[in-house]
């Protein structure tokens, strides 16, 4: 898994390259009994992303059949991503400009959080690096020291992404000139339905077979209880050796047939409903997602080329559906283009995402509200993990156990990051926010908060998704300020430290001001 904003290949997609380069397409030992057939149940982003990656990685050595029904709608609201999406697009060989034209996409530099700590407060969780290497510690420790010595610029003044976002600017920029400062790190906003359609075309060109139909029966085999086949409403039987459940919230295979079980986290993440509606594109074409806190939840705003995606995520214990819809419609920045569409969900994850010969991917594996745009990333990382642990026909239980262990680790660390947004609030203007501020939280999150509050230390575990810089931005943005800076930050001369900070701040500001507008840049690739 790759930390947010880091452009290096992640382990799962590094494994893709090794699979492709070491003879997956035929160089097997006689005793290996390689997997030959994969059946994907469900389309949408999860199903077609899995189909595209597997067909690319294995070529003709793996037969892939995707079963979906046009009668069953897809959730399709996951329109905001994080920078890792670029890795999977690059692996698939997608032309970025073509992909953006096909999906009506735009660029994303981060997420703006409004009214989360207090009404009127705002901060940006920006992708990419903040500041530059100064000594042995992360940049924020030196910023904390300088702030105690009279520095007045906010932490985000040293983020090129944040400065570009403030000016509604964007460009593809790897580095700032010849300096050690990193350039723009970006992700995308896109129409999830169009993206799935684009991946479908890409997959079918590589031999993936699509079958239209509704599944009415799941056949189990004896004696192990694994899935033998799915049977469609017309009687057709589709057999396979490995099944990927991309059926969404229903979890048709992983739960309906295999009863994996579900760990619910609504006592920490209280929102359980959402209402989504598209609106006409705003004149202000922002290169960032907005997450605006409301009285019992929050509202997303995602700018696309042809429209704006909007949704209100809320707690049904604190607000009625009619109230939620009214708040959403009253806070659009363009005319609504359709009727609001309701969604219900339970935050949490399957107790096991790989059971027998079935692996749940996407919403079938669990749900984390889209507060930090992790939904599509969780699909991507699941597929990368599958490739890394891809089994032979006779599945070794150790592979399943490791897959489930890694999946739980990822979900729990993302869960803690999301809880932080709700817990670290000073709002007391509604029952919802008072309950969030008072709720007990996982010990793993409390330990991080206490450590940061002491002197700015961030303890990351292994290869968890969010970087030190991400944790610092949200902790500071939500009003958690360290009591003091790390003592090692005192090693640098005071005058030298302030000179470095002022010079790098000026360079970042000049670079951001010289970038083209986001609207101009997108128009240039859309023509």
Specify the pLDDT at position 13: 52
Specify the pLDDT at position 109: 98
Distance of alpha carbon 473 from the chain centroid? 17
* Secondary-structure percent of the chain, ordered helix, strand, coil, rounded to 5: 40, 20, 40
Specify the pLDDT at position 70: 83
Measure the CA–CA gap between 212 and 406, rounded to whole angstroms. Answer: 33
The SS3 of residue 495 is helix
Specify the pLDDT at position 5: 45
Residue with tokens 């001369």, as numbered in its chain: 493
| Size (the chain), residues | 527
| Cβ count near 69 (within 10 Å) | 15
Measure the CA–CA gap between 289 and 304, rounded to whole angstroms. Answer: 10
Measure the CA–CA gap between 378 and 434, rounded to whole angstroms. Answer: 30
Calculate Rg over the CA atoms of the chain.
Answer: 23
Domains of the chain and any CATH numbers: 11-23+35-106+190-265+348-414 (3.50.50.60), 115-189+425-519 (no CATH), 273-344 (no CATH)
Measure the CA–CA gap between 285 and 355, rounded to whole angstroms. Answer: 44
- Tell me how far CA of residue 524 lies from CA of 163, 170, 288, 519, 521, in angstroms: 22, 12, 19, 9, 5
Measure the CA–CA gap between 144 and 151, rounded to whole angstroms. Answer: 9
Measure the CA–CA gap between 82 and 108, rounded to whole angstroms. Answer: 8
* Per-residue burial over 76-88, b = 16 or more CB atoms within 10 Å of its CB, e = otherwise: bbbbbbbbbbbbb
Supply 189's token pair: 């906003």
Specify the pLDDT at position 72: 64
Tens-binned pLDDT, residue by residue, of the chain (527 aa)? 344 544 333 444 543 333 333 333 333 344 568 999 999 999 999 999 999 999 999 999 999 999 998 876 555 455 899 999 999 999 999 999 999 999 999 999 999 999 999 999 999 999 999 998 898 999 999 999 999 999 999 999 999 999 999 999 999 999 999 899 999 999 999 999 999 999 999 999 999 999 999 999 999 999 999 999 999 999 999 999 999 999 999 999 999 999 999 999 999 999 999 999 999 999 999 999 999 999 999 999 999 999 999 999 999 999 999 999 999 999 999 999 999 999 999 999 999 999 999 999 999 999 999 999 999 999 999 999 999 999 999 999 999 999 999 999 999 999 999 999 999 999 999 999 999 999 999 999 999 999 999 999 998 888 899 999 999 999 999 999 999 999 999 999 999 999 999 999 999 999 999 999 999 999 999 76
For 510, left (φ over 0), alpha (ψ -120 to 50), or beta?
alpha
Specify the pLDDT at position 462: 82
Question: What positions carry a catalytic annotation?
Answer: 108
Contact partners, residue 323, CB within 8 Å, separation at least 6: none
Specify the pLDDT at position 147: 97
Measure the CA–CA gap between 406 and 385, rounded to whole angstroms. Answer: 8
Identify which of 83, 81, 95 has the alpha carbon closest to the alpha carbon of residue 190: 81
Distance of alpha carbon 81 from the chain centroid? 5
Contact partners, residue 277, CB within 8 Å, separation at least 6: 310, 311, 328, 329, 332, 336, 337, 338, 339, 340, 341
For residue 336, give the DSSP letter.
B
Q: What end-to-end distance do the CA atoms of the chain give, in Å?
A: 35
Measure the CA–CA gap between 71 and 213, rounded to whole angstroms. Answer: 9
Specify the pLDDT at position 527: 66
Question: Is the pTM above the cut of 0.85?
Answer: yes
| Cβ count near 339 (within 10 Å) | 9
């Amino acid at each position: 898994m790759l930390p947010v904003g880091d452009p290096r290949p992640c382990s799962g997609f590094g494994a893709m390259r090794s699979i492709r380069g070491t003879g997956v397409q035929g160089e097997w030992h006689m005793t290996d009994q390689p997997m030959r057939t994969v059946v994907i149940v469900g389309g949408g982003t999860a199903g077609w992303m899995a189909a595209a990656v597997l067909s690319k990685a294995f070529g003709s050595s793996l037969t892939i059949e995707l079963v979906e029904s046009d009668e069953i709608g897809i959730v399709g609201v996951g329109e905001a991503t994080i920078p890792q999406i670029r890795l999977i697009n690059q692996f698939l060989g997608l032309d970025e400009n073509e992909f953006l034209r096909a999906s009506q996409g735009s660029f994303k530099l981060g997420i703006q959080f409004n009214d989360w700590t207090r009404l009127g407060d705002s901060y940006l969780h920006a992708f990419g690096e903040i500041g530059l290497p100064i000594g042995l510690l992360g940049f924020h420790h030196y910023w904390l020291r300088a702030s105690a010595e009279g520095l007045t610029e906010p932490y985000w003044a040293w983020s090129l992404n944040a400065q570009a976002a403030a000016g509604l600017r964007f460009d593809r920029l790897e580095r700032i000139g010849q300096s050690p400062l990193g350039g723009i790190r970006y992700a995308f906003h896109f129409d999830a339905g169009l993206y799935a359609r684009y991946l479908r075309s890409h997959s079918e060109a590589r031999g993936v077979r699509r079958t239209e139909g509704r599944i009415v029966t799941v056949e189990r085999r004896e004696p192990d209880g694994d899935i033998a086949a799915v049977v469609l409403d017309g009687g057709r039987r589709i057999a396979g050796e490995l099944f990927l459940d991309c059926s969404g919230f229903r979890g048709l295979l992983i739960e309906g047939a295999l009863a994996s079980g579900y760990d619910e986290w609504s006592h920490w993440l209280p929102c359980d409903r959402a209402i989504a509606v598209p609106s006409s594109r705003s004149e202000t074409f922002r290169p960032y997602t907005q997450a605006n806190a409301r009285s019992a939840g929050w509202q997303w705003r995602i700018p696309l080329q042809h429209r704006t995606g909007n949704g209100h995520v809320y707690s049904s214990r604190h607000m009625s559906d009619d109230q939620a819809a009214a708040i959403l419609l009253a806070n659009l920045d363009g005319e609504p283009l359709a009727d609001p569409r309701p969604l219900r969900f339970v935050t949490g994850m399957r107790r096991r995402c790989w059971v027998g010969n079935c692996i749940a991917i996407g919403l079938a594996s669990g749900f984390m509200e889209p507060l930090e745009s992790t939904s599509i990333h969780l699909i991507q990382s699941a597929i990368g993990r599958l490739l890394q642990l891809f089994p032979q026909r006779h599945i070794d239980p150790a592979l399943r156990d490791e897959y489930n262990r890694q999946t739980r680790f990822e979900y729990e660390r993302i869960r803690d990051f999301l809880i932080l947004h709700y817990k670290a609030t000073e709002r007391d203007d509604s029952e919802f926010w008072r309950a969030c501020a008072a709720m007990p939280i996982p010990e793993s999150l409390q330990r991080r908060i206490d450590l940061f509050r002491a002197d700015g230390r961030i303890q990351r575990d292994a290869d968890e998704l969010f970087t030190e810089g991400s944790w610092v931005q949200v902790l500071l943005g939500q009003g958690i300020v360290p009591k003091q800076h790390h003592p090692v930050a005192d090693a640098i001369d005071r005058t030298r430290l302030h000179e470095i900070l002022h010079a790098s701040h000026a360079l970042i500001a000049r670079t951001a001001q010289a970038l083209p507008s986001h609207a101009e840049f997108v128009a240039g690739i859309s023509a």
